[in-house]
């Protein structure tokens, strides 16, 4: 599977400008990739102005994703603010060129940024199949909680969509590698650059990591760009068979 990660500079709370600029970044990828990964709240930045910025699941952003997927002949994924049944979610959405879609609601709201006051916590982990890969998505703060991300012999690619501040860059780098190593999975991390409406600076550091924790694609720090690489399921299976760590993993359950 050809995998691409986008690292944009987001304009605060401007859906039209963000979607237009991301679309420009995606044009060179048309017909040349299988899956595009966007960051957290890619259409607005990490804003808690949920009353004005939230939309229905099948709203304008979902329509945009569907059109982009159709035009580019690739799947596209990332998170945005969705309202549903009088609740608001930080929802990661996957849209495929065959009109299939999946979604995951962020489990760990970032309480230090008061996200928990505006966003309803998700309760279900998602794993789905795309082009033979079992994919499990997570959003930003989820990265700090390894039990939630744990591969239960059911995942091959972990995706993290984030607005991860530059001041905690080192943590981002380390934890993404840790999630790859401990789970024997490919890991894709998409992060933004620039400064948001709260004055928080982001350096990007978007990356694709192999199951051994080695970086196989890395975006330039502070630069708007996309990175792409091919990941092979047969390489992952060969590595797991040679070094079968997961067969010795502890069983556990999570209380919701």
Residues annotated as catalytic are 40, 106, 140
Tell me how far apart the 2 most distant CA atoms of the chain are, in Å. 52
Q: CA 231, CA 165: separation in Å to the nearest integer?
A: 28
Count of CB atoms within 10 A of residue 120's CB?
A: 19
Q: CA 230, CA 94: separation in Å to the nearest integer?
A: 19
Q: How is residue 239 written in tokens?
A: 């590595």
Distance of CA 136 to the CA centre of its chain: 9
Q: How much of the chain is helix, strand and coil, in % rounded to 5?
A: 30, 30, 40
Q: How is residue 147 written in tokens?
A: 């039990």
Backbone torsions φ then ψ of 146, nearest 5 degrees = -65, -30
**Sign of the C-alpha dihedral, residues 233, 237, 191, 170?**
negative
């Amino acid at each position: 599977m050809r995998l691409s990660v986008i690292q944009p500079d987001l304009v605060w709370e401007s859906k039209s400008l963000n979607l237009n600029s991301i679309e420009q970044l995606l044009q060179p990828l048309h017909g040349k990739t299988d899956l595009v990964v966007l960051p957290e709240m890619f259409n607005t930045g990490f804003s808690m102005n949920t009353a004005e910025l939230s939309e229905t699941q099948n709203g304008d952003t979902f329509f945009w994703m569907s059109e982009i997927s159709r035009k580019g002949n690739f799947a596209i994924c990332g998170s945005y603010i969705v309202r549903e049944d009088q609740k608001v979610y930080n929802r990661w959405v996957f849209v495929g060129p065959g009109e299939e879609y999946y979604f995951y609601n962020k489990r760990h709201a970032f309480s230090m940024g008061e996200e928990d006051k505006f966003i309803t916590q998700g309760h279900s982990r998602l794993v789905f199949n795309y082009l033979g890969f079992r994919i499990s998505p997570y959003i930003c703060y989820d990265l700090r909680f390894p039990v939630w991300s744990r591969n239960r012999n059911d995942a091959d690619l972990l995706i993290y969509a984030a607005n991860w501040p530059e001041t905690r860059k080192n943590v981002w780098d380390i934890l993404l590698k840790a999630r790859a190593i401990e789970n024997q999975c490919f890991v894709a991390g998409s992060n933004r650059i620039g400064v948001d409406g709260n004055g928080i600076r982001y350096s990007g550091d978007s990356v694709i990591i192999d199951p051994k924790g080695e970086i196989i694609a890395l975006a330039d720090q502070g630069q708007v760009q996309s990175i792409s690489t091919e990941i092979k399921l047969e390489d992952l299976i060969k590595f797991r068979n040679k070094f079968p760590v997961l067969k010795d993993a502890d069983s556990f359950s999570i209380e919701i």
